[in-house]
Structure 1
Amino acid sequence: MKVIDKLAWIELKDKTILSTKSFGKDKFYIPGGKRENNETDEQALIREINEELDVFLDKNSLNYIGVFEAQAHGHSEDVIVKMSCYSATYLGELKACSEIEEFKWLTYSDKDKVSAVDKLIFKYLKEKGLLI
């Protein structure tokens, strides 16, 4: 079994969740990405969010939410994604950058537009009353 280790930033507004779609992809994803070299969760997440959305996460506000695992979208069955999720406040104005084509605020009813691991996160947030 191959594991793709990823980090995700959970940003909620009015019980909706910020999601991004990369150029050429058919699903929206919770923003974040893969660790480079020996980056910590904090370093990787701050870097990825700055690259993708042109905002800076406040490292002092990082709050661990949990880890979610599921079949990796677009990969063979022996590949899973392990998503370590954090919330954090940010500075700046959200803007699609780098490989990001667009971002949207999604609700639980949009779960068909996201990957398997994001569906688990949507379900978790819905059960907590944080997502409509």
Structure 2
Amino acid sequence: MLDVVAWVHVADRRMLAVRARGRDLLYLPGGKREAGEGDWAALSREVREELAVELDRDSFRPLGVVHAPAHDQPAHTCVRMACFTAGFRGRIGPAGEIDECVYVGADERDLLAPAARAAFDLAASHGLVG
């Protein structure tokens, strides 16, 4: 089981997704915790590394947890992804291992990796995307 954190950022009812170098599907910004990191520390670090923006601690809120098959991992590997929303400072752009940032609508949901699709559905259940 991969245990990860993800930032759900929505603009104009479309969800931000990223393409990491060498990946065919889109993922949410975020990733694995380092030793001793909590959700806030891990997510703020990952988003800074991937998008070169600073998340706002005061607006950091849990959205929910999704489970899905892991993409590009050995068979039967699953992902537990804790999803959070937060405001940010800076200008979103690809950094580190990220090649592309895009906003995905309901008609492009199939471009997302399975866990990101589950997160999209979670955001939809909260009325954030459509």
Q: Tell me the TM-score normalized by structure 1.
A: 0.94
Q: What is aligned with 1:80? A: 78
How much has 1:119 moved relative to structure 2? Answer: 1.2
Q: Deviations over 1:6-47 (max 9, x none)?
A: 100010111001100011100011111110111010000000
User: 1:24-103, aligned counterparts within 5 Å?
Assistant: 24-103=22-101
Preserved contact between residue 19 and residue 28 of structure 1 (Cα < 8 Å): yes
* Paired positions, count: 130
Three-state SS of the structure 2 residue aligned to 1:49 is helix
Q: What is aligned with 2:8? A: 10
How much has 1:129 moved relative to structure 2? Answer: 2.5
Three-state SS of the structure 2 residue aligned to 1:103 is strand
Three-state SS of the structure 1 residue aligned to 2:117 is helix
Matches of 2:47 and 2:125, distance apart in 1: 26
Preserved contact between residue 64 and residue 122 of structure 2 (Cα < 8 Å): no
RMSD of the alignment, in Å?
1.0
Which segments of 5 or more consecutive residues in structure 2 lack a partner in the other structure?
none
How much has 1:110 moved relative to structure 2? Answer: 1.0
Q: Tell me the TM-score normalized by structure 2.
A: 0.95
What is the aligned-residue identity percentage?
34
Preserved contact between residue 29 and residue 114 of structure 1 (Cα < 8 Å): yes
Matches of 2:90 and 2:125, distance apart in 1: 30
Which segments of 5 or more consecutive residues in structure 1 lack a partner in the other structure?
none
Matches of 1:35 and 1:128, distance apart in 2: 26
Q: Deviations over 1:80-106 (max 9, x none)?
A: 011000000000111210000010011
